[in-house]
């Protein structure tokens, strides 16, 4: 990338100040990570390893080398690789459709595909069960159609269930990251290819795919880390025969209270995240190159030909069947009452009613810990908005600094190379470790945050921040340095360049980053459960509170609240999408 070095850097004085300015700007994300991530992590490690419980017999190192843990590590990698591959494969056609065509309901459909990302696993399991379960619609239909007495297939507690759920959850990452990038690629390139006689497949493989690689790699890394640290899906849908490192960490920490072991496994998990990120950086440095990004609206058109319409119809149909139908099933279940699934002798016909929703608003036993739904929505939204603000505030300068071209041996480059992989670590950290770490780190003045409600959005920001940086980087790196040079020659200062050139060019990516930060905060459960104050419960916390008690009403109210979570998520996403931070196509 050396040949693209901005010529202004050659002026020694200005170059010096630029470098200095960048160094100061680096302090922001570095201080944040040091204080709220590395310090807590260090403190909890220290505490765990210096105060081992008396009961542990085998030394940690011995235990970790046992077949049991090696199998867990192997499985964690295996399922993550498989899930990531499937997610990319399923996401690509949808990303293509969203990138290249305009059709009615597109924004709405795209928001719908983002909802699974925030849903609690137990709720997704319930949705899957209503569809694919032993008494789910599909099995009931097949049993009726072929006159069978037993369910045709069982899905839960299998690797298939894990894979399907991972694709279900993370498809939106591929759709958004790859789709957004794809929509900005100049359509004339593949057109030229075809004019020169290449087949469709050749144009894709030789032109589009190489250009897409930066976004594909980023999506793959993020999906891979999510699958690698998967917890709820493995626990609920995979069942007891499957365990990832994350599940094992939770068991060691809360089931056996064996913190040394939990920490050792956390550190292994972190090293794996680090290794994956370094590998990613190597690969992406090779494939990233500045290109001419175009406005999405210039690249998109209506569906005209029959073939296009059929293709679009097929993709939309499968997307709806896979991602939207379970959600609809869930919504239906939350308003359907009695009969069928109770297996009673006096089967009354099912009827529709809003009882579960009405019940949400009353506190029949005057419980001190009753959560009015409006309050849960308010708290969740507040945390989500704070998370979006904080992670963008940190993520924008960080992505800018990382995308900045510089001399190979310069201090800046060195910082870039060193910091980039470290930024991903919070995403690969087990929720239990992070939650407990924050608690032991800020336990005395001036920073006694243990009982403070700020801890929750802080933990959410730690997870969202790497995501934001990753979503911004491919777009920012693709901006041609010539543009910056031209602006600088015309007398623009760096801030003006950012505001007038960079932000309009990467506006979509900022929106995508914001949407992800928003959904990460709305859906986070693991760390929230450890850190949330009972006065400030989030929607997922309230859902679990209902689910953990027996009784039809509790179950129904949990479903009703999940539907509310879905609505809040969808409307939040649509609202963020409307902000449109200066997109190129608008002038």
Partner 1 sequence: MINLLSTNLIKRVQSLIALLILVSMVFACSPQASSPPPTESNILTVMTHDSFAATESVIKKFEDQTGAIVKFIKAGDTGSALNKAILAKGNPLADVFYGVDNTFLSRAIQEDIFQPYDSPLLKEIPEKFQLDPQKRLLPVDYGDVCLNYDKNYFSQHSLQPPKSLDDLTKADYKSMLVVENPALSSPGLAFLLTTIGVYGADHYLDYWKELVSNDVKVVNDWESAYYTEFSAHGGTRPIVVSYNSSPPAEVVFAETPISEPPTAAITANRTCFRQIEFVGVLQGAKNIHLAQKWIDFMLGVDFQSDMPLQMFVFPVNPNAPLPEQFQKFVVIPQETAQVDAKSIGENRDKWIQEWTSTVLH
| Binding flag, residue 555, partner 1 (CB under 8 A) | yes
Peptide linkage before 257 cis (omega within 30 of 0): no
Reduce the DSSP state of residue 302 to 3 states and report it: strand
Taking CB under 8 A as the criterion, the residue among 100, 166, 184, 545 binding partner 1 is 545
Contact 63, 261 (CB under 8 A): yes
Q: Is 134 in the site for partner 1 (CB under 8 A)?
A: yes
Residues 50-79 that bind partner 1 (CB under 8 A): 53-55
Answer for which of 125, 212, 403, 475 binds partner 1 (CB under 8 A) is: 125
For residue 135, state whether it binds partner 1 (rule: CB under 8 A).
Answer: yes
Q: Minimum distance from CB of 255 to partner 1 (Å)?
A: 6
Q: For residues 508 and 499, give the distance between their C-alpha atoms in angstroms, rounded to a whole number.
A: 14
**How many Cα atoms within 13 Å fall on the side-chain side of residue 577?**
17
- Contact in structure between 433 and 282 (CB atoms under 8 Å): no
Q: Which range touches partner 1 (CB under 8 A), out of 198-206, 218-226, 420-428, 528-536?
A: 528-536
- Judged by CB, which is closer to partner 1: 315, or 487? 487
Segment interacting with partner 1 (CB under 8 A) among 284-292, 296-304, 402-410, 544-552? 544-552
93-101, 118-126, 279-287, 417-425 -> range binding partner 1 (CB under 8 A)? 118-126
Which are the contacts of 567, defined by CB distance < 8 A and separation ≥ 6? Answer: none
Q: What are the structure tokens assigned to 89, written together?
A: 């494969």
Maximum distance among all Cα pairs of the chain, rounded to whole angstroms: 88
Nearer to partner 1, 57 or 304 (CB): 57
CB of 376 to partner 1, least distance (A): 13
Pick between residue 386 and residue 394 the one whose CB is nearest to partner 1.
Answer: 386
- Give 282: exposed, middle or buried? Use CB within 10 Å, 0-12, 13-18, 19+: exposed
Q: Are 201 and 126 in contact (CB under 8 A)?
A: no
From 125-133, 205-213, 272-280, 420-428, give the range in contact with partner 1 by CB under 8 A: 125-133
CA angle 516, 464, 371 (to 5 degrees): 80
Of the pair 341, 577, the CB lying nearest partner 1 is at: 341
Residue 553 found at the interface with partner 1 (CB under 8 A)? yes
Nearer to partner 1, 345 or 409 (CB): 345
**Coil/strand/helix, residue 101:** strand
Closer to partner 1 by Cβ: residue 113 or 336: 336
The answer to the question of residue 356 lying near partner 1 (CB under 8 A) is yes
Q: Which of 80, 88, 92, 126 binds partner 1 (CB under 8 A)?
A: 126
Asked if 587 interacts with partner 1 (CB under 8 A), we say yes
The distance of closest approach from Cβ of residue 265 to partner 1 in the complex, given in angstroms and rounded to an integer, is 14
Q: How far is the C-alpha of 225 from the C-alpha of 217, rounded, in Å?
A: 12
**Does residue number 483 form part of the binding site for partner 1 (CB under 8 A)?**
no
Work out how close the CB of 582 gets to partner 1 at its nearest, in angstroms, rounded to a whole number. Answer: 4
Does residue 582 belong to the site contacting partner 1 (CB under 8 A)?
A: yes
Binding residue (CB under 8 A) for partner 1 from 80, 174, 211, 253: 253
Number of residues that bind partner 1 (CB under 8 A): 87
Query: In 3D, which of 64, 313, 98 has the Cα closest to residue 184?
Result: 98
Q: Which residue has the tokens 């993020």?
A: 222
Strand partners, 548: none
Contact segment (CB under 8 A) with partner 1 among 87-95, 280-288, 324-332, 365-373 equals 365-373
> Helix, strand or coil for residue 563?
helix
Return the residue of 547, 561, 566, 573 that touches partner 1, per CB under 8 A: 547
Residue 337, beta-bridge partner list: 351
Estimate the crossing angle of helix 12-33 against helix 373-403, to 10 degrees: 150
Provide the minimum distance between the beta carbon of 500 and partner 1 in the complex, in angstroms, as a whole number: 6
Q: Smallest gap, in angstroms, from Cβ of residue 332 to partner 1?
A: 14
Rounded (5°) CA angle 524-228-564: 25
Interaction between residue 137 and partner 1 (CB under 8 A): no
* From candidates 12, 147, 343, 445, binder to partner 1 by CB under 8 A: 343
Nearest to 513 by CA among 177, 216, 217: 177
CA R_g for the chain: 25
Query: Could you say whether residue 358 binds partner 1 (CB under 8 A)?
Result: no
Q: Under a CB-based contact definition with an 8 Å cutoff, are residues 539 and 563 in contact?
A: no
Distance CA 59, CA 165 (A): 36
Give the total residue count for the chain: 587
Give the rounded distance of the alpha carbon of 270 from its chain centre. 18
Among 10, 306, 307, 444, binds partner 1 (CB under 8 A): 444
3-state SS, residue 21 = helix
- Per-residue contact string for residues 199-238; x = within reach of partner 1 by CB under 8 A: ------------------------------------xx--
Q: What's the closest the beta carbon of residue 221 comes to partner 1, in angstroms?
A: 28
Nearer to partner 1, 105 or 491 (CB): 491
For position 445 contacting partner 1 by CB under 8 A, the verdict is no
Contact between 499 and partner 1 per CB under 8 A: yes
Query: Cβ of residue 344: shortest distance to partner 1, in angstroms?
Result: 6
Contacting residue, 111, 129, 203, 218, with partner 1 by CB under 8 A:
129
Determine which residue in the list 33, 119, 127, 259 makes contact with partner 1, applying CB under 8 A. 259
Please tell me whether residue 552 binds partner 1 under the rule CB under 8 A: yes
Q: What is the nearest approach in angstroms of partner 1 to the Cβ of residue 304?
A: 30
Could you say which residues in the range 142-181 bind partner 1, by CB under 8 A? 151, 156-157
Closest CA to 441 of 29, 53, 50, 47: 47
DSSP E strand boundaries for 215-326: 301-302
DSSP string, 467-481: HHHHHHHHHHHTS-H
- E strands present in 412-488: 443-444, 447-448
């Amino acid at each position: 990338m050396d040949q693209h070095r901005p010529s202004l850097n050659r002026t020694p004085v200005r170059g010096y100040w630029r470098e200095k300015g960048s160094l100061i700007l680096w302090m922001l994300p570095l201080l944040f990570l040091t204080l709220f991530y590395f310090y807590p992590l260090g403190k909890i490690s220290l505490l765990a390893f210096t105060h081992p419980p008396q009961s542990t017999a085998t030394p940690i190192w011995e235990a970790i080398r046992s077949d049991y843990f090696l199998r867990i590590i192997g499985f964690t990698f295996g399922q993550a690789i498989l899930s990531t591959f499937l997610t990319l494969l399923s996401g690509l056609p949808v990303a293509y459709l969203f990138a290249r065509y305009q059709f009615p309901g597109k924004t709405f459909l795209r928001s719908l595909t983002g909802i699974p990302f925030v849903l609690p696993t137990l709720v997704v399991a319930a949705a899957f069960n209503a569809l694919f379960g032993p008494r789910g619609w599909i099995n009931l239909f097949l049993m009726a159609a072929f006159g069978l007495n037993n369910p045709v297939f069982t899905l839960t507690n299998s690797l298939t269930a894990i894979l399907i759920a991972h694709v279900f959850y993370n498809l939106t990452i591929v759709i958004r990251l790859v789709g957004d990038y794809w929509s900005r690629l100049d359509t004339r390139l593949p057109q030229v290819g075809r004019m020169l006689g290449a087949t469709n497949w050749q144009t894709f493989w030789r032109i589009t795919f190489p250009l897409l690689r930066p976004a594909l790699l980023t999506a793959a890394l993020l999906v891979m880390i999510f699958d690698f640290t998967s917890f709820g899906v493995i626990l609920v849908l995979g069942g007891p025969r499957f365990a990832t490192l994350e599940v094992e960490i939770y068991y060691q920490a809360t089931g056996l209270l064996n913190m040394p072991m939990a920490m050792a496994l956390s550190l292994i998990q972190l090293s794996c995240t680090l290794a994956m990120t370094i590998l990613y950086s190597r690969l992406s440095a090779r494939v990233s190159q500045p290109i001419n990004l175009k406005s999405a609206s210039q690249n998109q058109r209506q569906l005209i030909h029959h073939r296009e319409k059929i293709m679009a119809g097929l993709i939309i149909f499968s997307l709806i069947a896979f991602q939207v139908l379970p959600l609809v099933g869930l919504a239906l279940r939350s308003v359907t009452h009695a009969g069928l699934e109770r297996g009673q002798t006096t089967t009354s016909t099912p009827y529709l009613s809003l009882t579960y929703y009405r019940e949400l608003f009353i506190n029949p036993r005057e419980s001190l810990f009753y959560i009015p739904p409006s309050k849960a929505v308010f708290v969740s939204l507040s945390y989500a908005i704070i998370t979006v603000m904080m992670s963008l505030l940190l993520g924008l300068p960080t992505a800018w600094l990382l995308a900045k071209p510089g001399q190979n041996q310069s201090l800046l480059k060195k910082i870039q190379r060193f910091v980039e992989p470290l930024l991903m670590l919070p995403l690969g950290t087990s929720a239990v470790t992070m939650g407990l770490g924050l608690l032991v780190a800020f336990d005395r003045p001036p920073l006694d945050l243990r009982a403070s409600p700020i801890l929750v959005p802080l933990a959410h920001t730690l997870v969202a921040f790497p995501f934001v940086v990753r979503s911004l980087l491919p777009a920012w790196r693709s901006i041609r340095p010539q543009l910056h040079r031209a602006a600088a020659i015309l007398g623009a200062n760096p801030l003006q360049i950012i505001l007038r050139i960079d932000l309009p060019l990467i506006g979509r990516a900022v929106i995508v980053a914001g949407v992800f930060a928003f959904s990460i905060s709305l859906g986070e459960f693991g760390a929230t459960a450890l850190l949330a104050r009972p006065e400030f419960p989030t929607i997922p916390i309230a859902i679990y509170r209902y689910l953990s008690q027996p009784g039809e009403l509790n179950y129904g109210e949990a479903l009703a609240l999940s539907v509310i979570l879905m609505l809040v998520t969808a409307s939040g996403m649509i609202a963020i999408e409307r902000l449109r931070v200066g997109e190129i196509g608008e002038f």
